[in-house]
């Protein structure tokens, strides 16, 4: 065995020769996500372990306007931390050419618990795949990744950061994607009032508790005298407040203007289906739905209460399509109070997620 190691050592040494790069970097520092009890273990890609240096690089890239073709927009331009990384209450985002998108900018947090299917229609299987798409989308940042890689390769600032993160200064497409993936995976929201109440660090008000109860309770038929539930948890249940699944929640009539998940799978049964987003930080991440059609949470609750539209792919659990949920205004207000308790100011103000260039 010693002989084998010796041979390996010789081979390794010989292969490096005199061309050893000038700058050598130590192993990056492992980064451990802080995940409280009650959350699943983080899911980190085996080939992209989180490191302090990788996340730092990803954060710089995320907020660097060089990632757009004309240097006017960064990822952070449409993903504002104060709004759960959504686009400043805009229904659609405006790209560098002035072109306007067709879907609402999605929030960024707890993506370590998204098992694939990023974007409203789930068209990106991995976060690193997702990360590059807006950079190259002609109506968003409209850049060419190969050009971007050349730009970054010419900057000592980035060469050093890539060196620290990945061991070599050479920038390439894969490393850009992995760095952005690391930063986005590091963004965690686990400190809402609701979370603190579950940990015994805060108490929900009676109204918030009633809202949670409605949120979790099954819907009953209109003739049933028992208290009605909002039945929200089927798609937004558990600690993550999403099941990471795709549904038609009855906001559109057929034919669907945006066919959603169907565009990815080609299955007619997927027409009009979109990702059920997490409801964490929902109060600060409006407008709502894939096309931002609802300006306020009250609009959203009114939709579920009495605005569901029947169609051939409506989710079987959208049971209030005929007569509505029948929630009273007080119950709607309680649901609203509960949803507000999901706002996480620790996450919204976390300095680790802020723009490093400001």
Tell me the C-alpha distance between 341 and 82, whole Å: 16
Give the nearest distance from C-beta 343 to another protein in angstroms. 20
> At CA 81, angle to CA 75 and CA 86, rounded to 5?
65
> At CA 150, angle to CA 57 and CA 147, rounded to 5?
105
Chain contacts with another protein (rule: CB under 8 A): 4, 7-8, 11-12, 14-17, 19-21, 37-41, 43, 113, 115, 168, 170, 216-221, 226, 233-235, 237-240, 243-245, 269, 310-312, 314-319, 321
Comparison of 220 and 354: residue with beta carbon closer to another protein: 220
Residues in the chain: 358
Give the nearest distance from C-beta 59 to another protein in angstroms. 24
Give the nearest distance from C-beta 87 to another protein in angstroms. 28
Comparison of 17 and 266: residue with beta carbon closer to another protein: 17
Comparison of 220 and 293: residue with beta carbon closer to another protein: 220
Give the nearest distance from C-beta 26 to another protein in angstroms. 16
Comparison of 76 and 250: residue with beta carbon closer to another protein: 250
Give the nearest distance from C-beta 78 to another protein in angstroms. 28
Q: Residue 155 in 3-state DSSP? A: coil
The residues, any chain, with a CB within 8 Å of residue 18's CB and separated by 6 or more, are none
Give the nearest distance from C-beta 186 to another protein in angstroms. 18
Helices (H), the chain: 2-16, 52-62, 75-78, 127-136, 145-153, 156-166, 173-186, 193-198, 206-216, 233-236, 262-265, 297-306, 329-340, 345-348
- In sequence order, what DSSP letters do the residues of 168-231 get, joined into one string? S----HHHHHHHHHHHHHH-----SHHHHHHTTSS---HHHHHHHHHHHSPP--TT--SPP---
- In sequence order, what DSSP letters do the residues of 6-32 get, joined into one string? HHHHHHHHHHHTT---S---PPPPB--
Comparison of 62 and 113: residue with beta carbon closer to another protein: 113
Comparison of 322 and 358: residue with beta carbon closer to another protein: 322
Give the nearest distance from C-beta 217 to another protein in angstroms. 8
Comparison of 39 and 183: residue with beta carbon closer to another protein: 39
Give the nearest distance from C-beta 92 to another protein in angstroms. 29
Contact predicate 291/258, CB 8 Å = yes
Q: State the number of CA atoms in the 13 A half-sphere of 12 facing the CB.
A: 6
Contact predicate 141/73, CB 8 Å = yes
Tell me the C-alpha distance between 287 and 124, whole Å: 23
- Token reading at 331: 């119950």
Comparison of 79 and 271: residue with beta carbon closer to another protein: 271
Comparison of 16 and 346: residue with beta carbon closer to another protein: 16
Give the nearest distance from C-beta 32 to another protein in angstroms. 16
Contact predicate 220/228, CB 8 Å = yes
């Amino acid at each position: 065995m010693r002989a084998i190691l010796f041979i390996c050592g010789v081979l390794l040494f010989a292969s490096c020769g005199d061309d050893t790069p000038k700058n050598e970097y130590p192993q990056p520092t492992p980064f451990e996500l802080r995940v409280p009890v009650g959350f699943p273990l983080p899911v980190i890609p085996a080939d992209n372990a989180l490191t302090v240096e990788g996340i730092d690089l990803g954060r710089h890239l995320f907020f660097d306007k060089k990632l757009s073709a004309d240097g006017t927009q960064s990822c952070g331009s449409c993903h504002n931390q104060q709004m759960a990384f959504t686009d400043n209450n805009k229904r659609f985002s405006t790209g560098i050419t002035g072109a306007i998108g067709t879907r609402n900018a999605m929030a960024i947090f707890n993506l370590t618990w998204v098992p694939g299917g990023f974007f409203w229609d789930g068209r990106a299987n991995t976060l690193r795949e997702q990360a590059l798409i807006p950079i190259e989308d002609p109506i968003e940042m409209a850049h060419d990744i190969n050009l971007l890689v050349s730009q970054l390769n010419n900057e000592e600032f980035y060469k050093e950061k890539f060196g620290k993160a990945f061991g070599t200064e050479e920038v390439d497409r894969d490393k850009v994607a992995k760095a952005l993936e690391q930063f986005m995976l590091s963004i965690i929201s686990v400190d809402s009032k609701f979370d603190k109440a579950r940990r015994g660090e805060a108490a929900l008000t009676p109204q918030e508790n009633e809202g949670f109860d409605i949120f979790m309770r099954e819907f009953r038929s209109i003739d049933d005298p028992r208290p009605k539930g909002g039945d929200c948890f089927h798609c937004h249940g558990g600690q993550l407040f999403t099941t990471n699944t795709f549904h038609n929640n009855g906001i559109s009539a057929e034919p669907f203007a945006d066919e959603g998940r169907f565009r990815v799978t080609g299955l007619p049964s997927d027409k009009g289906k979109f990702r059920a987003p997490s409801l964490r930080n929902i109060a600060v991440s409006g407008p709502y739905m894939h096309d931002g059609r609802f300006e306020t949470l009250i609009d959203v609750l009114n939709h579920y209460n009495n605005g569901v539209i029947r169609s051939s792919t409506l989710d079987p659990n959208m049971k209030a399509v005929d007569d509505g949920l029948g929630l009273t205004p007080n119950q709607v207000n309680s649901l609203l109070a509960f949803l507000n308790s999901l706002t996480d100011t620790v996450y919204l103000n976390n300095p680790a997620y802020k723009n490093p260039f400001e």
